[in-house]
């Protein structure tokens, strides 16, 4: 299999996408990516991120590949968990305090900063609508985050998410309480759960 076919095959197996890093993993020089872009067999959709033309643009995936130290949170996480039907126009992303990546200059991103020790708390992999994997906080962490930031949240999205969570059969209230202690919102979380459950 030649290098061009290797790239196309890899991208097809990854729902249409390949990055410069991934081309290195399959031992293909990034010059071959550029050649495929010139031949219009591949599109460059972000720094070091490429996709096959017949596959849809996935902004969640493209943003997640532009920085390894990020996690979808707040209203964006609710959307990824199917707890909100409002497609994000601005993406809520949480990063560690010392973050200095290229998301800083992205006007479609709303950054939240947290201490390193709680950055990974509740981080999980989730599939986008195009079946691509991105980092996102689990539901319990997301709930703690929106409760903590309720003054910055859209009221409709906020109250709908709380009601939806209360109705969920697979909710993990113990995990929610554990997270709420670490995130300093235990009182608010317990109070809300008493009302909702």
- Give the pair of three-digit tokens for residue 39: 């031949």
- Indicate the pTM of the whole model: 0.92
Distances (CA, A) of 174 to 22, 84, 158, 181: 39, 23, 21, 11
pLDDT tens-digit map of 108-166? 999 999 999 999 999 999 999 999 999 999 999 999 999 999 999 899 999 999 999 98
Residue 17 has a pLDDT of 97
Q: What pLDDT does 14 receive?
A: 94
Confidence of residue 177 (pLDDT cuts 50, 70, 90): very high
Q: What does the alpha-carbon distance between residue 174 and residue 113 come to, in Å, rounded to a whole number?
A: 25
- Dist CA 70 CA 68 (whole Å): 6
Alpha carbon separation from 45 to 39, 51, 139 (Å, rounded)? 15, 7, 29
């Amino acid at each position: 299999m030649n290098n061009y076919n290797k790239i196309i095959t890899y991208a097809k197996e990854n729902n249409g996408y390949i990055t410069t890093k991934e081309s290195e993993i399959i031992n293909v020089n990034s010059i071959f990516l550029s050649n495929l872009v010139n031949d219009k067999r591949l599109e460059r959709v972000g720094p070091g991120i490429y996709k096959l033309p017949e596959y849809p643009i996935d902004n969640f995936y493209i943003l997640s590949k532009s920085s390894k130290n990020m996690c979808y949170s707040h209203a964006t996480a609710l959307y990824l968990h199917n707890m909100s039907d409002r497609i994000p126009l601005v993406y809520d992303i949480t990063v560690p305090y010392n973050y200095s990546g290229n998301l800083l200059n992205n006007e479609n991103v709303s950054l939240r900063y947290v201490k390193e020790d709680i950055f990974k708390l509740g981080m999980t992999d989730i599939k986008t609508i195009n079946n691509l994997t991105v980092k996102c906080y689990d539901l319990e962490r997301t709930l703690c985050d929106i409760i903590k930031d309720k003054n910055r949240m859209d009221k409709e999205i906020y109250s709908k998410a709380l009601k939806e969570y209360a109705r969920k059969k697979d909710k993990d209230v113990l995990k929610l309480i554990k997270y709420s202690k670490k995130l300093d919102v235990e009182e608010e979380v317990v109070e809300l759960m008493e009302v909702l459950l």
